[in-house]
């Protein structure tokens, strides 16, 4: 199992981190590195696209929470794209729906960054 | 295999031993998914079980442990799937009794155990001074009309 990380710029100095695969204790460091790299470059408004993520566990949630915490220190935010009901369920039962903006598509997530 | 697990009159046992390293956790959840798939569980129920076992293995790997392996046992009887995750460490994975997590502080400690307790029907820990820690998880099998 692996995770593919694709970072691309969207209009307005916003960035999208597109993830494909499974996020667990083995693969989450790769996601953390990608998110941390953007934040280190001063990019504090991010969309993380989970549409092609088949699986996420607490280590993956930890990476997302850590990223959100860091960008909020700079007035930024992290919005998520996720329509997979299995993944959404994990955000629901952990209460993370209250701290992340979670959207069904990338356009909506990017618009909400502004 | 003469008898499908779903019709087992006696319990069936499937055991797996993986190295205590992150790259092997995916195999553990694939194995329990395969076992769960024999029980006519819904996709959501199978995903719950996969996540619980993943979290159990991850907790072992992330905590101090004294063993090279994690053992996962899946026991199927007529009414439940019983999972045991064993490691040689003597800890209780910081298991909280309740599910209170302070997200304002973005703390994720205990999140894995919280998920296990939320997704499984029964969860108990046993710490054995000589052999290590057992995490027992039970998923009761739903009665479905054919």
User: Strand, coil or helix: what is B89?
Assistant: coil
Question: Which residues does chain A have within 8 Å of residue B22's beta carbon, measured at their own beta carbons?
Answer: 24-26
Are B135 and B56 contacting, i.e. CB atoms less than 8 angstroms apart? yes
pLDDT at B142: 82
Q: Where are the beta strands (DSSP E) in chain B?
A: 12-19, 69-76, 80-87, 122-128, 132-140
Do A25 and B58 lie within an 8 Å CB cutoff? yes
Query: Does residue A55 sit at the B interface (CB-CB below 8 Å)?
Result: yes
pLDDT of B6 above 90: no
Q: Which residue has the higher pLDDT, B2 or B73?
A: B73
Q: What is the dihedral of CA B62, B68, B72, B73, to 10 degrees?
A: -150
CB contact under 8 A, B26 and A26: yes
Instruction: Report residue B4 as tokens.
Output: 């499908």
Q: Which residues of B touch A96 (CB under 8 A)?
A: 103
Q: Are B85 and B135 in contact (CB under 8 A)?
A: yes
B6, B58, B59, B49: which is closest to B29 by C-alpha?
B49
Question: Which of B26, B29, B112 has the CB atom closest to A58's CB atom?
Answer: B112
Compute the Cα dihedral for A87, B92, B138, B10 and give only its sign. positive
Return the residue matching tokens 């996709």.
B43
pLDDT, residue B128, reads: 87
Phi, psi of A8 (to 5 degrees): -140, 155
**Cut 0.90: pTM above it:** no
Chain A interface mutation, best of B31, B32, B46, B47, highest count of A Cβ atoms under 10 Å: B47
Closest listed residue to residue A69, CA positions, set A100, A113, A103, A102? A100
Give the tens place of pLDDT for each residue, B63-117.
Answer: 766 678 999 999 998 899 999 999 987 665 555 554 445 554 445 668 999 999 9
Q: Do A25 and B108 touch (CB under 8 A)?
A: no
- Bridge partner list, B122: B138
Query: Tokens 């566990």 appear where?
Result: A57
Which two structure tokens, joined as six digits, stand for A19? 């993830």
In 3D space, the residue among A83, A80, A86, A85 whose CA is nearest the CA of residue A101 turns out to be A80
Whether residue B62 lies within 8 A of chain A, CB to CB, comes out as yes
Task: Say whether pLDDT at A94 is over 90.
Answer: yes
Do the Cβ atoms of A57 and B62 come within 8 Å?
Answer: no
Q: In chain A, which among 59-88 make CB contacts under 8 A with chain B?
A: 59, 61-62, 65-66, 68-69, 85-86
Q: Is the pLDDT of residue B145 over 60?
A: no
Distance CA B40, CA B47 (A): 13
- Sign of the dihedral through C-alpha A41, A42, A47, A50: positive
Give B102's contacts in chain A (Cβ within 8 Å): none
């Amino acid at each position: 199992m692996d995770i593919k990380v694709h970072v691309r710029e969207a209009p307005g100095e916003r960035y999208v981190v597109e993830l494909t695969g499974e996020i667990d204790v083995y693969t989450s460091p790769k996601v953390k590195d990608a998110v941390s790299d953007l934040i280190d470059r001063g990019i504090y408004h991010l969309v993380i696209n989970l549409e092609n993520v088949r699986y996420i566990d607490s280590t993956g949630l930890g990476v997302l929470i850590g990223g959100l915490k860091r960008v909020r220190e700079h007035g930024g935010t992290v919005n998520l794209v996720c329509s997979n009901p299995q993944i959404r369920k994990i955000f629901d039962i952990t209460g993370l729906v209250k701290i992340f903006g979670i959207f069904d598509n990338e356009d909506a997530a990017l618009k909400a960054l502004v | 295999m003469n008898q499908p697990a779903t019709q087992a009159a006696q319990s069936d046992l499937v055991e797996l031993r993986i190295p205590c390293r992150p790259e092997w956790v995916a195999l553990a959840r694939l194995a329990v998914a395969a076992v769960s798939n024999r029980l006519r569980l819904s996709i959501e129920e199978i995903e719950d079980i996969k996540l619980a076992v993943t979290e159990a293995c991850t907790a072992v790997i992330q905590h101090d442990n004294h063993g090279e392996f994690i053992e996962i046992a899946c026991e199927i009887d007529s009414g439940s799937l019983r999972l045991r995750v064993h490691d040689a460490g003597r800890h209780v994975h910081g298991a909280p009794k309740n599910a209170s997590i302070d997200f304002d502080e973005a703390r994720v400690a205990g999140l894995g155990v919280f998920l296990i307790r939320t997704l499984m029907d029964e969860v108990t820990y046993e710490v054995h001074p000589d052999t290590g820690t057992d995490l027992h998880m039970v998923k009761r099998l739903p009665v479905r009309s054919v």
